[in-house]
Chains A and B, each alone.
Chain A
C-alpha cells in the first residue's frame, strides 16, 4: 500500500504545488524519487513528531495540503494533542499517514503494533478516518483525503486484500464497498485483513453459507446505511479488524446500528481481545495467534449461525 500511496502522491504533487509531504525520518529509499522531483514539497522533520504536526499545521494554515508520514503509532500517538489542538481545531488540511497498521510490523514488538489507532483517531472531532483494504483503495484514498477539508487519518497496511476493483467503480470516502454478496451473514472488515474475510467467505460457501463481505474503508464518517441494510438483509454481522475490539470498527458498527434501532440477528467483533500483544511474529502469524484469521472467522460464524438456529427452534417449540 505504501508504494501505491507514494505513487499517487507523486502524481498529485506534480499537478498541485500545494502538496507537501513531511516525514518523521522514516521511509528509507521510499521517497528518493519524490524528493528529487519535488524538493520544495518534501521535508524530513527529523525524529520529532510533535514538531512535525506543528509544522504541518503552520504550512496548512498558509495554504499547503500536508501529508505527515511515519510508522504505526509514531505518527499520531506522540503528537496526538498537536493533531487535536493545532491541526484539527484549526480546520487544517493535514493528512496523517500511518504506515504499518495493525500487525504490519508484527515482529518488531508492541511499540510497533498499531492496534488502538482507529479508536483513538475516531474520537477526535473533525477527523476523517480511513483504512483501505487493498492497493486500489489505498491509492484512491490518498487523493480523496487531500480533497477533504480538515484532518484525515490514513492507515496503510503492509498486507493487502486481492484487488476487488471493478471497472468504472468510483471510490467514495464514507461509502462502504460490497466486495462479495450473500444473505446468510455479513463480514464487515477494514484494512488488509479483508483478505481473511474473503477467504472465510470462500470456506463458508463450502458449508452452504453465503457471506456478504463489506470493505468498511472509512470508519468516520461511517456508512450507516450499508450496515443497516446488512443487519436487515443478512442473518447477523461479524466485524473484523486488526485492532483492539474496543472502540474501533466493531464499536463503531455497534453504535451505529443501535442508534438506528436495528438489531442484527447476531453480532460479534473479531479483533484483539488480549491486552498488549507481546507475542511477536509475522502479520499472518499474529492474525492466527490472536484469533482473527479466516479459520477463526469461519468457526465463529458457524457457531453463531448454529446458536441462532437453535434459539429460533426452541422459540418455535415453546
Chain B
C-alpha cells in the first residue's frame, strides 16, 4: 500500500471530520498521521474481514483525542465504509471525539483519558507471552501524555516482565495542550529515561516512512526488552500554518482556514 497516499487521505478526512463537527485536536492527529499510515498500510497484521482474528497484532491509540485519524485509517483500509466518517462527532453517532470501540470494528480499546493505553497493552502483551503467541502489541502515546504516572508504572512492569512483544510509539511533537512540553513538564533526557527503565529505544523521524517502517517491523524486536519508538514529529504536520503551533491543538479549521488547509493537502498529491 502507498503509505504516503494513505497518510494524505487520513489528513484530509481528519480535517473534514474535525471541521464538520467543530471538534479539536487536528494538530495532534496530523502529527501522528504518518505513523498511523505506516502502521495500517505496512506494519500491522490486521484483517478488515476478520477484525477479531486471534493472531492479529493489537494496536491501541492511547492519545485518544486524535481518534479521528484512526477512524480515517480504519475506513480507508476497509474496516467500515468511508461514508461513515461523516457521522463523526455528530448527534447520535458512535464515532466519538475520543476513540471508542463500541460498534467500531478494528478499535481494540476506547481511550480519551490519558495514561490508560500502555497499561492495557502491557496486559495484552503479558497474555500473549503466557500463551506463546507471536503477535505484537503496539501502543501509540502522545508526549504530553507521558506526564501521567500510570505510564511509568506500565513502563516498569513491561521491562521487568521482559515483554519484547510490546512496542510503545511516542508521537513526540513537543507541544501539549497549553504550551510546549519543555515549558510544561520537561521530558528530556527522554531517551535516557526509557533506556534507564530497561527499554530498547529507537529514535526516528516520525514523518519518514522508510525509517518508521524499519523501526516498527517485527524484525526490529530486541529479545527480552520492550521497544520504545521515539518518533520526532511536528504538530500539525501537513498544513503549513498549523505546523508547530499550540493554537491548533484545540482550534477548528473553518471557512477560509479550512479551504486553505484542504488545498494544501490536495496539492500534496
Binding site for B on A (CB under 8 A): 40, 43, 45-46, 48, 50-51, 53-64, 81-82, 85-86, 89-90
Contact = CB atoms under 8 A, between A and B. Distances in A.
B242 to A, nearest CB: 29
B127 A89 contact: no
A85 B153 contact: no
* Interface majority SS (helix, strand, loop, mixed), chain B: helix
Interface string B121-147: 111111110110000000000000000
A194 B227 CA distance: 52
B127 A54 contact: no
Given A46-B153, A50-B150, A90-B101, A58 B113 contact: no
B106 interface: no
Given A50-B150, A85-B112, 5 more contacts: A48-B157, A50-B149, A55-B154, A61-B109, A90-B109
B179 to A, nearest CB: 25
A58 B124 contact: yes
B142 to A, nearest CB: 17
A63 B127 contact: yes
B237 interface: no
Given A61-B108, A90-B109, A56 B123 contact: yes
B157 A86 contact: no
A51 B153 contact: yes
B128 A54 contact: no
Contacts of B123: 54-62
B120 to A, nearest CB: 4
Contacts of A45: 157
A59 B127 contact: yes
Contacts of B127: 58-59, 61-64
A54 B112 contact: no
B110 interface: yes
A221 B20 CA distance: 41
A48 B156 contact: yes
A50 to B, nearest CB: 4
Interface in B58-72: none
B114 to A, nearest CB: 10
A86 B111 CA distance: 8
Contacts of B154: 51, 54-55
A212 B154 CA distance: 50
Most chain B beta-carbon contacts within 10 A, residue among A53, A62, A86, A89: A62
A60 B123 CA distance: 8
A56 B121 CA distance: 10
Contacts of A86: 109, 116, 119-120
Contacts of A90: 101, 109-110
B206 interface: no
B121 A58 contact: yes
Contacts of B116: 54, 81-82, 85-86
A85 B157 contact: no
A39 to B, nearest CB: 11
Contacts of A59: 123-124, 126-127
B119 A58 contact: yes
Contacts of B110: 85, 89-90
B65 to A, nearest CB: 14
A60 B33 CA distance: 30
B38 to A, nearest CB: 24
A57 B120 contact: yes
B118 interface: yes
Contacts of B111: 85
B115 interface: yes
A55 B113 contact: no
22 contacts: A46-B153, A48-B153, A48-B157, A51-B156, A53-B119, A54-B123, A57-B120, A58-B125, A58-B126, A60-B123, A61-B120, A61-B123, A62-B128, A63-B127, A82-B116, A82-B119, A82-B150, A85-B110, A85-B112, A85-B116, A86-B116, A90-B110
Given A46-B156, A62-B124, A55 B108 contact: no
B126 A51 contact: no
Contacts of A89: 110
A90 B100 CA distance: 10
Nearest to A57: B120
Closest 8 CB pairs of A and B: A58-B123, A54-B119, A62-B127, A51-B153, A48-B153, A50-B150, A55-B123, A58-B124
A61 B150 contact: no
B119 A51 contact: yes
B156 A61 contact: no
A44 to B, nearest CB: 10
Given A50-B149, A55-B157, A81 B113 contact: yes
A43 B126 contact: yes
Nearest to B123: A58
A53 B122 CA distance: 11
Nearest to A62: B127
Contacts of B120: 54-55, 57-58, 61, 86
Contacts of B101: 90
B145 to A, nearest CB: 13
Contacts of A55: 119-120, 122-123, 126, 154, 157
Most chain B beta-carbon contacts within 10 A, residue among A40, A46, A57: A57
